[in-house]
């Protein structure tokens, strides 16, 4: 029994506050970090941000597990699907009168299958009809749930079956990019060459200013060489310029006003001056686009991703060219390609379609040498990974400058912005380039140039870096390839039409004895010797004579015609004498007899052209037909055919 003073006052019991969906301190943030092109990136999912934290946590854990188990290089699509589904599931369950906190992958109190169907319908309503995001999100979520179901027996059977089924949304089929036209290719190439010359001229001036510069912290901030010196030693900041320069730009020295990128907007102030001073020493992302354009047009076997991933150690220069080690991440393929230096042009020789003007400066080896030289000081000053495409850009607060991998996707630094930067004095665009302004079209343009140069079969045009199926599906659909294919088809069809339109030549009785004379033989299109042979009947094929039985349009060249005399009446080599009219009439009678035994469509396909050709011959020599008919009766003439054709003609 407690003594006096040992009793403690009993306080009224306070019931615990009901836990809300947000009170989930025990659920931590899921985070995945990876290195992407030298930059550390992080993807996070905080289950506490959603009305269904347990479900979001389970999906986030499954996402991390699937990323590591499948050895994915990029799983942003799966994390995006988890966020989109968790964001939708909470309000949907609340509107359905259910508690979102009860939603779990390993419990059937809430039917998540219906939630998934509703979410897919919501995605289809939010995105355009031809968008691919609904299918991508739905497929990614189902893959994660299926991955969880294979490792957790508590996943309900209904949800397990839904995860094994395909997504409700249809996979979008995008239209492949077309290549740039030849005029656009030449315009892009010319603009890139001009920009590259301007960049090298600017960097040369920057080196000269750097040699004359001094520390501005001791010798002042009003001289451009001192600002270039500060940029080289990474002591040039917006704060230093604000302290060392007058408040108004109009009071700055003239050389500082001239070097600014613009006299209006943000680039007219200290920020623009800081960028300009750094730009005299270090290329920026827009400055690297000319190298990218020229290299993609010249390197037929290099993709945009492979070119962007190149590092300085991947290049091995020699007196004959450069050896480039390329890595294709999607195909997990590493290969080394050797690019030789263009030979010097001979006197009076023009460069070929695939060659760049110049002697080793505009070829692949020359461009890579110039790119390494242009970015060498950037790597020396800022260090970091030895990316070939390294640009110096402002930090997020715009107070300092830093070097980073050129991604060419940030606002104002894309390929389309480089195209738009070429304007004339009136502000109009100089480059008239069709949209979309995609760098991947440059590679297709280079592939098209290869198609034009090589022609031939698909295996020839695909080269060493593609299979025939890949080339046919991704490159052979271009406009130029279609035009070339259409031209080839037209040529083949024209050859067939020419053969179909061919008809025999009728020689009158007066001209037949004179076929050995040069003038008459030339009019017939043969030589005197061949004309004499025709006149003597040495080339009689049965129902007609033949100019050249070894060059028949119905047989392979060099082989004796095997379809004579059945096809002679539709052959351009046939020569008909009036003395052969009885055979022609008998052939015509046989064709008409076949009209009675064959269906109209079959007869037209087999005998129609021969009947038409015979009718034209009979029209030209109508006065000789009665005598030919009389000769058939009196001399008992029969159709002169080879034994192998008797079966067909006597039916």
Which candidate, 537, 523, 528, 530, places its Cα nearest to that of 579? Answer: 537
Confidence check: pLDDT of 646 > 60: no
- Number of helices (H) and strands (E), helices first, in the chain? 25, 10
- The answer to whether 617 and 625 are in contact (CB under 8 A) is no
Reported as type and span, the H/E element at residue 545 is: strand 545-546
- The 8 Å CB, 24+ separation contacts for 459-462 are none
- What is residue 205's predicted lDDT score, i.e. its pLDDT? 94
- The answer to whether 570 and 503 are in contact (CB under 8 A) is yes
Task: Report pLDDT digits (tens) over 432-457.
Answer: 888 888 888 888 777 776 666 565 55
Q: For the ranges 64-73, 132-141, 441-450, 457-466, which has the lowest average pLDDT?
A: 457-466
Q: Is the pTM of this model over 0.85?
A: no
Residues β-bridged to residue 33: 42
- What is residue 474's predicted lDDT score, i.e. its pLDDT? 59
Domain coordinates of the chain in residue numbers?
Answer: 30-164, 175-343+357-454, 455-499, 502-649
- What is residue 33's predicted lDDT score, i.e. its pLDDT? 84
Confidence check: pLDDT of 201 > 90: yes
Task: Report pLDDT digits (tens) over 249-293.
Answer: 888 888 888 888 877 777 778 888 999 999 999 999 999 999 999
Q: For the ranges 269-278, 307-316, 505-514, which has the lowest average pLDDT?
A: 505-514
β strands within 318-466, DSSP E: 321-328, 333-340, 390-394, 401-405
Q: Return the SS3 of 402.
A: strand
Q: In this structure, how many other beta carbons lie within 10 angstroms of the beta carbon of residue 59?
A: 27
Q: Which residue did the predictor score with more confidence, 515 or 223?
A: 223
Region 298-327: mean pLDDT is 85
Confidence check: pLDDT of 2 > 60: no
- Please report, for residues 208, 215, 276, 556, the alpha-carbon distance to residue 401 in angstroms, rounded to integers and kept in the order given: 21, 18, 11, 73
Q: In this structure, how many other beta carbons lie within 10 angstroms of the beta carbon of residue 641?
A: 20
Mean confidence (pLDDT) of the chain: 80
Which candidate, 181, 178, 170, 171, places its Cα nearest to that of 474? Answer: 178
Phi, psi of 156 (to 5 degrees): -60, 150
Residues in CB range of 404: below 8 A, 6 or more apart: 38, 39, 384, 390, 391, 393
Residues in CB range of 232: below 8 A, 6 or more apart: 210, 213, 281, 377, 381
CA distance 357 to 452: 19
Q: Which residue did the predictor score with more confidence, 302 or 400?
A: 400
Confidence check: pLDDT of 495 > 80: no
- The answer to whether 123 and 169 are in contact (CB under 8 A) is yes
Tokens of 46: 């905080």
Confidence check: pLDDT of 35 > 60: yes
- The answer to whether 277 and 203 are in contact (CB under 8 A) is no
Which candidate, 113, 116, 92, places its Cα nearest to that of 169? Answer: 116
Residue 42 DSSP code: E
pLDDT-above-70 percentage for the chain:
81
- The answer to whether 478 and 335 are in contact (CB under 8 A) is no
Helix axes 182-212, 285-298, angle to 10 degrees: 140
Residue whose pair of structure tokens reads 């006096």 in the numeric block:
4
Phi, psi of 128 (to 5 degrees): -60, 165
Residues in CB range of 176: below 8 A, 6 or more apart: 474, 477
Helix axes 76-95, 133-151, angle to 10 degrees: 90
Tokens of 268: 């007219």
Phi, psi of 505 (to 5 degrees): -105, 130
Cβ neighbourhood burial of 33 (10 Å; 0-12, 13-18, 19+): exposed
Provide the pairing of β-strand 574-577 with 505-507: parallel
- What is residue 452's predicted lDDT score, i.e. its pLDDT? 61
CA distance 441 to 463: 18
Confidence check: pLDDT of 345 > 50: no
- What is residue 503's predicted lDDT score, i.e. its pLDDT? 67
Residues in CB range of 346: below 8 A, 6 or more apart: none
pLDDT band at 232 (very low <50, low <70, confident <90, very high): very high
Q: What angle do CA 481, 487, 489 make, to 5 degrees?
A: 100
- The answer to whether 171 and 93 are in contact (CB under 8 A) is no
Q: In this structure, how many other beta carbons lie within 10 angstroms of the beta carbon of residue 488?
A: 11
């Amino acid at each position: 029994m407690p003594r006096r003073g040992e009793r403690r006052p009993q306080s009224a019991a306070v019931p615990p506050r009901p836990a809300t969906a947000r009170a989930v301190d025990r659920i931590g943030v899921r985070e995945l970090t990876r290195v992407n092109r030298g930059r550390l990136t992080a993807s996070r999912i905080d289950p506490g941000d959603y009305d269904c934290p347990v479900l979001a946590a389970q999906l986030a854990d499954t996402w991390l597990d699937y990323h590591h188990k499948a050895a994915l290089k990029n799983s942003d699509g799966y994390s995006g699907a988890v966020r989109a589904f968790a964001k939708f599931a909470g309000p949907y369950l609340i509107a359905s009168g259910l508690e979102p906190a009860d939603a779990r992958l390993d419990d059937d109190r809430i039917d998540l299958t219906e939630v998934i169907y509703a979410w897919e319908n919501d995605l289809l309503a939010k995105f355009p009809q031809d968008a691919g995001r609904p299918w991508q999100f739905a497929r990614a979520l189902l893959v994660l749930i299926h991955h969880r179901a294979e490792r957790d027996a508590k996943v309900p059977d209904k949800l397990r079956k839904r995860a094994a089924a395909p997504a409700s949304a249809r996979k979008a089929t995008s239209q492949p990019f077309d290549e740039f036209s030849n005029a656009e290719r030449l315009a892009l190439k010319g603009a890139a060459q001009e920009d590259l010359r301007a960049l090298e001229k600017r960097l040369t001036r920057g080196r000269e200013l750097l040699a004359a510069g001094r520390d501005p912290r001791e010798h002042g901030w009003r001289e451009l060489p001192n600002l270039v010196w500060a940029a080289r030693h990474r002591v040039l900041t917006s704060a230093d310029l604000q302290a060392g320069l007058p408040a108004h730009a109009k009071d700055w020295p003239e050389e500082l006003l001239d070097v600014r990128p613009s006299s209006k907007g943000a680039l007219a102030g200290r920020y623009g001056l800081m960028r300009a001073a750094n730009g005299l020493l270090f290329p920026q992302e827009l400055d690297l686009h000319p190298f990218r354009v020229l290299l993609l047009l010249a390197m037929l076997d290099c993709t945009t991703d492979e070119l962007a991933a190149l590092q300085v150690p991947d290049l091995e220069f020699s007196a004959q060219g450069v050896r480039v080690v390329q890595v294709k991440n999607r195909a997990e393929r590493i290969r080394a390609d050797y690019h030789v230096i263009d030979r010097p042009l001979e006197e009076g020789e023009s460069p070929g379609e695939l060659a760049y003007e110049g002697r080793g400066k505009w070829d692949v080896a020359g461009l890579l040498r110039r790119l390494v030289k242009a970015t060498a000081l950037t790597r020396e000053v800022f260090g970091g990974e030895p990316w070939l495409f390294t640009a110096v850009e402002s930090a997020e607060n715009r107070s300092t400058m830093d070097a980073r991998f050129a991604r060419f996707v940030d606002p104002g630094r894309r390929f389309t912005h480089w195209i738009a930067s070429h304007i004339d004095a009136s502000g109009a665009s100089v480059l008239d380039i069709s949209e979309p302004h995609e760098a991947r079209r440059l590679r297709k343009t280079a592939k098209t140039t290869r198609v034009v140069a090589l022609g031939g079969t698909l295996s020839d045009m695909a080269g060493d870096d593609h299979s025939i199926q890949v080339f046919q599906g991704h490159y052979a659909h271009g406009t130029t390839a279609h035009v070339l294919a259409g031209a080839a088809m037209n040529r083949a069809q024209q050859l067939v039409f020419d053969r179909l339109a061919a008809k025999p030549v009728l020689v009158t009785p007066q001209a037949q004895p004179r076929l050995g004379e040069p003038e008459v033989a030339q009019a017939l299109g043969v030589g005197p010797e061949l004309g004499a042979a025709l006149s003597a009947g040495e080339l009689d094929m049965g129902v007609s004579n033949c100019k050249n039985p070894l060059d028949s349009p119905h047989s392979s060249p060099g082989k004796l015609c095997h379809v004579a005399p059945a096809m002679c009446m539709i052959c351009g080599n046939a020569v008909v004498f009036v003395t052969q009219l009885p055979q022609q009439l008998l052939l015509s009678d046989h064709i008409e007899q076949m009209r009675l035994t064959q269906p109209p469509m079959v007869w037209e396909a087999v005998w129609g052209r021969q009947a038409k050709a015979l009718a034209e011959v009979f029209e030209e020599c109508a006065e000789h037909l009665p005598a030919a008919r009389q000769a058939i009766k009196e001399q008992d003439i029969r159709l002169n055919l080879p034994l192998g054709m008797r079966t067909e003609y006597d039916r």
